[in-house]
Amino acid sequence: MDNEKTKTKVIQKMRTGEVKASAIAHPNIAFVKYWGKRHTGTAREKLNIALNKSVSMTLSDLRTYTTVEFGDYDRDQIIMNGEEVRDERVIDHLNLIRREADIDKKAKVFTENNFPTASGIASSASGFAALTVAACKAAGLDYGERDLSILSRQGSGSACRSIFGGYVVWKKSKISSESYAEQLADENYWELRDLIAVVSEARKKVSSIDGMSMTVQTSPLYMARLEEADKNANHAIEAIKNKDFDSLGQTIEYDSLLMHATMITTTPALLYWAPPSVAIMHAVVDMREEGIPAYHTMDAGPNVHVITLPEYTDKVEKRLKEIDGVKSILNCGPGPGAQEVYKHLF
């Protein structure tokens, strides 16, 4: 990545002042989850090399929009949803991209989500995917999807999957240069729906970064889940290839419960579920008994993703809205990968 040709391009761009770029990226829902990273010797395992293979669907409608400009600023300035924040993870990520591009200019970053931030709707995935695409472009790095996936992963593991649209696999590897995501099928391949029952828009108390490290260190169930997760990933891939919704749904629900079993048995316990989350899971099982194909899955937060087929969307949505504690429903399908856009936020 770090070759002379790229560097020349960067310098030319800096001279002509073309140092601003924007990108849009979408979150993704993991059908088979990433939870646990390899110890890399760095204090916070910053390389984010997943211990297991994971499978996801990139989501339509929800998005992060980010503009990055490198310039003569005295510090990095980050404006998130209209407020200036000091976010060390964003600064670390800018540093990574500055090292790649061999530049030392500070950056101005404007970023906006059209959905709740850090509440288990994978805002870090869309956030770091959009930041990577915009910052690389602004720094003059003309990277392909694989390199963008590797870089995004170092901001937030799940972000490596949001570089791609549709159905995506993050393969398992021991080394950074081989730990990246690949597209299994694009967003037009199969119209599944993800109805996200929002029960809380509050930021989660324990971040995924801290939570997964605690689980790997303390849950006696972690190793058992690790073996199952790779099998689940292969089942999910087969089910997507065959468009076998029930087989995929069973794997999705099983893998989510398995991951939450390791979270709950972490010391101290990571119980991301709120009372309405449990009510939603019961309702999903009831719906299935009535012949409605729907399966639940949850990330590191109380909101529940209900995966169903398009023809059942209205029925499922109606049922979810009746549950006490459900504040709103976000209705998403398969969405596109991260893309550069040419309208800037500042």
- Which residues are near ligand PMV by CB under 6 A? 30, 33-35, 54, 122, 124-125, 156-158, 208-209, 299-300
R_g of the chain, CA atoms, integer Å: 20
- Tell me whether residue 78 or residue 209 sits nearer to ligand PMV (CB atom): 209
- Tell me whether residue 11 or residue 274 sits nearer to ligand PMV (CB atom): 274
CB neighbour list of residue 313: distance below 8 Å, 6 or more residues apart: 193, 195, 331
293: phi then psi, degrees, rounded to nearest 5: -75, 105
- The least distance separating ligand PMV from the CB of residue 188, rounded to whole angstroms, comes to 23
- The least distance separating ligand PMV from the CB of residue 217, rounded to whole angstroms, comes to 16
- The least distance separating ligand PMV from the CB of residue 29, rounded to whole angstroms, comes to 8
Structural tokens at position 14: 């800096």
Geometric angle at alpha carbon 197, from 149 and 187, rounded to 5°: 40
- Tell me whether residue 20 or residue 33 sits nearer to ligand PMV (CB atom): 33
- Tell me whether residue 34 or residue 167 sits nearer to ligand PMV (CB atom): 34
Rounded to whole angstroms, the Cα distance separating 175 from 47 reads 9
Smallest CA-to-CA distance from 147 within 1, 2, 48 is with 1
- Tell me whether residue 58 or residue 124 sits nearer to ligand PMV (CB atom): 124
Classify residue 222 by burial, with Cβ atoms within 10 Å: 0-12, 13-18, 19+.
buried
Tell me the torsion sign for CA atoms 334, 338, 342, 345: positive
- The least distance separating ligand PMV from the CB of residue 11, rounded to whole angstroms, comes to 33
Q: What is the full DSSP assignment across 29-93?
A: EEEE----B---SSTT-TT--BSS-EEEEEBSS--EEEEEEEES-SS-EEEETTEEE--HHHHHH
- The least distance separating ligand PMV from the CB of residue 30, rounded to whole angstroms, comes to 3
- Tell me whether residue 67 or residue 152 sits nearer to ligand PMV (CB atom): 152
Distance set, CA 302 to CA 55, 198, 199, 326 (Å): 21, 8, 7, 11
- Tell me whether residue 67 or residue 158 sits nearer to ligand PMV (CB atom): 158
- The least distance separating ligand PMV from the CB of residue 343, rounded to whole angstroms, comes to 28
Q: Number of helices and strands (H, E) in the chain?
A: 10, 14
- The least distance separating ligand PMV from the CB of residue 313, rounded to whole angstroms, comes to 23
